[in-house]
Amino acid sequence: MKQFFILPVFLAIAWTRTAINESQKFQAQHIFSPEKLDSDRPNIVFILTDDQDVHLSSLDYMPFVKKHLLDQGTYFNKHYCTTAVCCPSRVTLWTGKAAHNTNITDVNPPYGGYPKFVTQGFNKAYLPIWLQNAGYNTYYTGKLFNVHTVDNYNKPEAAGFTNSDFLLDPYTYNYLNSTFQRKGEEPKSYEGQYTTDVLAEKAFGLLDEAVQSEKPFFLTIAPIAPHGNIYMNGSILDDNPVFEHTAPVSAERHQHLFKDVKVPRTENFNPDEASGANWILTLPHQNATNIAYNDHFYRQRLRSLQTVDELVDGLFTRLESYNLLSNTYILYSSDNGFHIGQHRLQPGKSCGYEEDVNIPLIVRGPGAAKNWSTDIVTSHTDLAPTFFDILGIAQREDFDGSAFPLTRAEIEKAMAGKRRREHVNVEYWGFAGGEGIFDDTLHENNTYKAIRILGPGYNLYYSIWCTNEHELYDMDVDPEQMNNLLSSSSSSSEALIAGLPIRKAVARLDALLFVMKSCKGVTCRKPWEELHPNGEVLTLQDALATEYDHFYEVEVEQNGMKVEYNFCSNGYLVEAEGAMWKNVEGKEGIRMLKRGGLRWDAWV
Ligand SMILES: *[C@@H]1O[C@H](CO)[C@@H](O)[C@H](O)[C@H]1NC(C)=O
Ligand SMILES: *[C@@H]1O[C@H](CO)[C@@H](O)[C@H](O)[C@H]1NC(C)=O
Ligand SMILES: *[C@@H]1O[C@H](CO)[C@@H](O)[C@H](O)[C@H]1NC(C)=O
Ligand SMILES: *[C@@H]1O[C@H](CO)[C@@H](O)[C@H](O)[C@H]1NC(C)=O
Ligand SMILES: *[C@@H]1O[C@H](CO)[C@@H](O)[C@H](O)[C@H]1NC(C)=O
Ligand SMILES: *[C@@H]1O[C@H](CO)[C@@H](O)[C@H](O)[C@H]1NC(C)=O
Ligand SMILES: *[C@@H]1O[C@H](CO)[C@@H](O)[C@H](O)[C@H]1NC(C)=O
């Protein structure tokens, strides 16, 4: 311990933001010798932004993310969130469970928010606690969940953190009037200071603490950028709170940037004909005033991300000065994606379209290939299992996701050997809220289930809405999801999927989605094995074999084994969800499709 007495001196020098010289580096190495840091057990730093897109090109405007993460790490270009809104997505991320198993399906009570996280029991069973049990120190700063407020933050406090400094409602999304709450202390207002700058200092301070401890650590840095700015005069739990949702606010030093930048004018941007399904199909064409505002909203997002980019640079300066880079994984992701103008949508998320669900994931660290991009399919459900894997903790049986490999050789092997799930299960309940000034209505009936699946000869998005409308997009020929092959007006009935008529693929996808919608644990990880317990079908390609035509196209159909809603509900109400493969308790129940006690494929 004696050596550690010189630490404060070193810290005082290192934190002056000046370049660290070689002599200081040596000191750092000397102080934090590998055995002190338990070098077999790597550290993790996780940067989690809020509402950051991939498809609107936001990463192109972050030079330090490129320099430190993309150029030095692996970009997972087919990474997905499974519920495209903050709180459900974050709970999935921190528990490794799909939203239908957490039943945190909304940002607000009664279906979501921090109070529901607590009553569902997850404050006693989520990643930070599991990490602490495994001997890790855990640190968190920024936004944890919605409806984590200045009133309820200690009733009880979010468990599992060695130290924490949370953004709290009703000030979470107020870029210039944030309130943070440090573990064990009262909430503190930072009125007039720029939220991400405050957060950066807190993150660097927590990193210092983590390094001073003799344990391996997991540090999460969760800024709100590029989420919209929200002024609230109370939290959702107060009487008649007023919310004012505007474009994100940038730091003063970034206000002048990107003056000529506009939302990418892709084919699905404000199209001449309405697209999508359900309420999206009814949206009006946007006029020039509306588009100009949305371009402004877009620029404000990019500007707000500049402080995050600077934070990333500062973080790497410190990790390097502490000589931690060779033993630390640094991950960069977002809770969900974002759309502006695609399918005529106003700024927002909550849809199943690629802009909202395909999100950034960059991993830098020991063994991760540098400057490489992979299209292995991964999702937020897989992150907790992957963290377990990195840190050498045995997997939990109740994880709905599975660890994905991080080295290039293992990724390529997994993809070649069909040993990796090729689909993501996307689900949503309730409203979609428009952001910005031209759409402050809540769009009802935004309840749907979907599959995003990629394999040899197919690259599809299949969705079923609570109105029982269906969508199918062939993402190879229609990456912007403009031609719904299952719309009532579609003339594409001759379209082929993997060289076969689309109805063949749809029959398989119906059965897969039917299993997925109430899956738990291993059933979510290996849903095809529910349908084919002998293990001979692991992919859609396998299931498309003609020997299964009768099973999928006759038996499955006859048994009503498809997702069909009884009505649109704002939460996960079993009575709204139609027939179930197994009931939600995991017991054989509501409509377990068995015949005479035999498993499915015994009677095919
Ligand atoms: C480097 O840092 C050490 C320790 O703080 C200091 O003594 C030394 O003068 C510095 N060297 C240079 C070249 O700045
Ligand atoms: C990353 O790879 C691209 C080619 O794919 C190359 O042009 C670029 O120089 C590489 N960048 C770094 C930092 O190695
Ligand atoms: C900023 O937040 C504090 C509470 O943390 C509040 O008292 C104050 O009125 C807010 N200021 C503005 C300008 O909204
Ligand atoms: C917020 O403002 C509205 C409208 O002025 C008011 O009715 C409500 O009581 C306020 N809520 C809080 C928590 O201050
Ligand atoms: C443009 O569209 C917005 C949103 O529908 C509407 O409020 C506004 O009045 C329209 N402006 C013009 C000039 O038509
Ligand atoms: C929502 O769906 C229900 C049926 O579940 C229907 O009665 C209602 O009209 C729909 N609301 C809207 C706004 O479409
Ligand atoms: C999910 O939570 C809601 C609200 O508490 C409840 O009504 C519903 O029954 C729950 N769903 C399941 C499947 O437990």
Tell me the pLDDT of the chain averaged across its residues: 90
Q: Which ligand sits closest to the CA of 239?
A: 4
**Residues assigned a catalytic role:** 86
387 CA to middle of ligand 2, Å?
28
- Same domain flag for 410 and 509: no
Residue 77 structural domain: 43-416
Parallel/antiparallel/unpaired status of strands 79-80 and 229-232: unpaired
Do 472 and 391 share a structural domain?
no
The closest residue, in CA terms, to atom 11 on ligand 5 is 289
Is residue 103 in a domain?
A: yes
Q: What is the pLDDT averaged over residues 217-241?
A: 95
Q: Is the CB of 151 under 6 A from ligand 4?
A: no
Please list the alpha-helical segments (H only) found in 96-180: 99-102, 114-119, 127-133
- Please tell me whether residues 400 and 497 are part of one structural domain: no
pTM, entire model: 0.90
Binding pocket residue ranges, ligand 5, CB within 6 Å: 287, 289-290, 438
Give the three-state DSSP class for 490.
coil
Indicate whether 238 belongs to any domain.
yes
If asked whether residues 213 and 347 sit together in one domain, one would say yes
Which single residue is written with the structure tokens 């008529």?
Answer: 501
pLDDT above 50 (res 306): yes
Reduced to 3 states (helix: H, G, I; strand: E, B; else coil), residue 31 is: helix
212 inside domain: yes
Residue 224 shares a structural domain with residue 273: yes
134 HSE (CA, 13 A, CB side): 25
Q: Where are the alpha helices (DSSP H) in 110-194?
A: 114-119, 127-133
Ligand 4 within 6 A of CB of 234: yes
Q: Is 18 exposed, middle or buried (0-12, 13-18, 19+ CB in 10 A)?
A: exposed
Residue 195 Cα to ligand 4 midpoint, Å, equals: 24
CA dist., res. 496 & res. 512, Å (int): 19
Average pLDDT, integer, range 538-545:
96
Q: How far is the CA of 289 from the centre of ligand 5 (A)?
A: 6
C-beta neighbour count of 562 within 10 angstroms: 19
Q: Which atom of ligand 4 lies nearest, measured to the CA of 234?
A: 13
Q: Are residues 122 and 238 in the same domain?
A: yes
Percent of the chain with pLDDT over 90: 81
Q: How far apart are the C-alpha atoms of 353 and 343, rounded to whole Å?
A: 9
Per-residue pLDDT tens over the stretch 260-280:
999 999 999 999 999 999 999
As a whole number of angstroms, the distance between CA 406 and CA 48 comes to 19
Domain end: 384, 416, 448, which one? Answer: 416
Q: Which ligand is nearest to the CA of 18?
A: 1
pLDDT band at 441 (very low <50, low <70, confident <90, very high): confident
Do 395 and 476 lie in one domain? The reply is no
Q: Among 235, 236, 238, 242, which residue has the most ligand 4 atoms within 8 Å of its CB, making it the best to mutate?
A: 242
Determine, yes or no, domain membership for 13.
no
Residues 6+ apart with CB under 8 A from 328: 42, 43, 44, 45, 319, 365
Q: Which helix (H) or strand (E) holds 47?
A: strand 43-49
- Predicted pLDDT of residue 418: 76
Do 409 and 465 sit in the same domain of this protein?
no
Q: Please list, residue by residue across 513-528, b when 16 or more beta carbons sit within 10 angstroms of its beta carbon and e when fewer do.
A: bbbbbbbbbebbbebb
Cis upstream peptide for 8 (omega within 30°): no
Does residue 491 have its Cβ closer than 6 Å to ligand 4? no
The stretches of 21-133 forming alpha helices (DSSP H) are: 22-31, 63-65, 86-95, 99-102, 114-119, 127-133
Q: What is the CATH number of the domain that holds 340?
A: 3.40.720.10
- 531 pLDDT above the threshold of 50: yes
Ligand closest in space to the Cα of 70: 2
* Ligand 6 centroid from CA 466, angstroms: 9
Segment holding 454, helix H or strand E: strand 448-455
Is the pLDDT assigned to residue 588 strictly greater than 70?
Answer: no
When divided into structural domains, the chain yields a total of: 2
Which ligand neighbours the alpha carbon of 150 most closely? 3
Is there a domain that residue 22 lies in? no
The atom number, within ligand 5, closest to the CA of 286 reads: 2
CA of 71 to the centre of ligand 2 (A): 7
When pLDDT is cut at 50, 70 and 90, the band that residue 493 belongs to is: low
pLDDT in tens, 140-196: 999 999 999 999 999 999 999 999 999 999 999 999 999 999 999 999 999 999 999
| CB 546 less than 6 A from any atom of ligand 4 | no
Question: Locate tokens 């990418």: which residue?
Answer: 264
Predicted pLDDT at 112: 97
Strand locations in 322-437 (E):
328-334, 361-364, 372-374, 378-379, 423-428, 432-433
Q: Where are the alpha helices (DSSP H) in 74-113?
A: 86-95, 99-102
Whether residue 47 lies inside any domain: the answer is yes
In a domain, 425, yes or no: no
Residue 226, preceding peptide bond in cis (omega within 30° of 0):
yes
Q: Is 471 found in the same domain as 380?
A: no
Place of tokens 């000589």: 323
Give the Å distance between the CA of 167 and the centre of ligand 4: 22
* Ligand 6 atom nearest to CA at 443: 13
- Residues 63-120 have pLDDT tens digits of 999 999 999 999 999 999 999 999 999 999 999 999 999 999 999 999 999 999 999 9
Nearest in space to 91 (alpha carbons), one of 336, 328, 265: 336
In a domain, 330, yes or no: yes
Are both 336 and 386 inside the same structural domain? Answer: yes
Residue 331 has pLDDT above 90, yes or no: yes
- Ligand 5 centroid–CA 452 distance in Å is 35
Q: Distance between CA 427 and CA 94 in Å, rounded?
A: 17
One domain, residues 387 and 513: no
Q: How many CA atoms lie within 13 A of 343 on its CB side?
A: 26
Q: What is the pLDDT of residue 257?
A: 98
Whether residue 327 sits in one domain with residue 247: yes
pLDDT category at 598 given cuts 50, 70, 90 is: very low
Q: Whose CA is nearest to atom 3 of ligand 5?
A: 290
Instruction: Find the residues whose C-beta lies inside 6 A of ligand 3.
Output: 171, 177, 179, 189, 191
